[in-house]
Structure 1
């Protein structure tokens, strides 16, 4: 007999200690799936150091307005968003769980958090060649605002454009 759920068992909650493992896994899998960074950058990642940084961000945020949120499908962490005052620093969903509303729920929760902290705008950055992210941001009401930055990954430089919206 198949289990039927009348409502989806999906949610977003603040990250807690121990979530750094899933958050790191989501980030690496998402970056790999986009292909935009290149396999050389992915292979050069120090996953242990990433996990330690996420652990610190979750348990000891650097200041007011900083938070990590996780998207759940049942008990499984399938995505996350990291926010700072006025910004969504990162928003990633496991590739196999994309297009299920998790990204939208995370962005909505992040915007709610930004508003609660007094922000009236939201900004985020997207890699120039990440067309799926650009489409998601555009569909969510954000637009490119003309700012760009170049990041040195240690393997090659990548360019990001800033997206923003009034909230």
Structure 2
């Protein structure tokens, strides 16, 4: 007798997913930026406002290759990712895509959602005919970096510092990871 398996999947997001994506993002940002940003900024993150922006961006994406993917458990959003053409100044606009956002709900981590979501990102970027993918990761986010590097991504030597509040006092250092999207048999 086999045991029941979870109903899990990844699909392209619909505008109706915007509230769940926003809740997931706000929770993750509150965790990620705690101690970096002033508490009043963290407390002011508004899931309803984020949801409106997500809905608008999914209704009218800036580029046909901008994709929002959601990791699902049954009908519940457990994480999301955004793939797009790379926005880096040194990127080839035809060949280079990027994972622009990647979040798995804290309560749903280590359940396979991240692995499925990452595979869907790779498949989506490949289907959009990109041959290389990049991903900016906070230099202090060891868990995410270890996970991503464990799937074959590697640092390419690029790094940047983001100014989170415009004052220069609150910064996040990031490193860029990359991977080839060309199949071994191509």
TM-score, reference length from structure 1: 0.89
Q: Is the 8 A contact 2:19 2:47 kept in 1?
A: no
Change (3 A) 1:45 1:151: farther
Q: Give the Cα separation in 2 of the matches to 1:19 and 1:81.
A: 13
User: 31-40 or 155-164: which moved more?
Assistant: 31-40
Name the CA distance, whole Å, in 2 between partners of 1:10 and 1:116: 22
After superposition, the Cα gap between the structure-2 partners of 1:114 and 1:161, relative to the gap in structure 1 and judged at 3 Å, is same
How much is the aligned-residue C-alpha RMSD, in angstroms? 2.0
Matches within 5 A, 1:66-77: 66-77=66-77
After TM superposition, the runs of 4+ consecutive aligned structure 1 residues lying more than 4 A away are none
Q: Which moved more, 1:45-54 or 1:124-133?
A: 45-54
Deviation sequence 1:33-70 (CA, Å, 0-9, x none): 34566352533535444323211222211112111010
Deviations 1:107-150 (A, max 9, x none): 11111111111111111111111111111111121111111111
Structure 1 residue 7 and structure 2 residue 21: aligned? no
Structure 1: gaps spanning 5 or more residues: none
Distance 1:37 1:68 in 2: 28
Residue from 150, 159, 165 that aligns with 2:173: 159
Q: Name the TM-score, length of structure 2 as normaliser.
A: 0.80
Larger Rg: 2
CA distance in 2, matches of 1:53, 1:70: 16
Q: Secondary structure at the match of 2:136?
A: strand
Aligned positions of 1:17-166 closer than 5 A: 17-34=15-32, 38=36, 40=38, 42-85=42-85, 86-154=97-165, 156-166=170-180
Are the counterparts in 2 of residues 57 and 68 from structure 1 also a CA contact under 8 Å?
Answer: no
2:184 alignment partner in structure 1: none
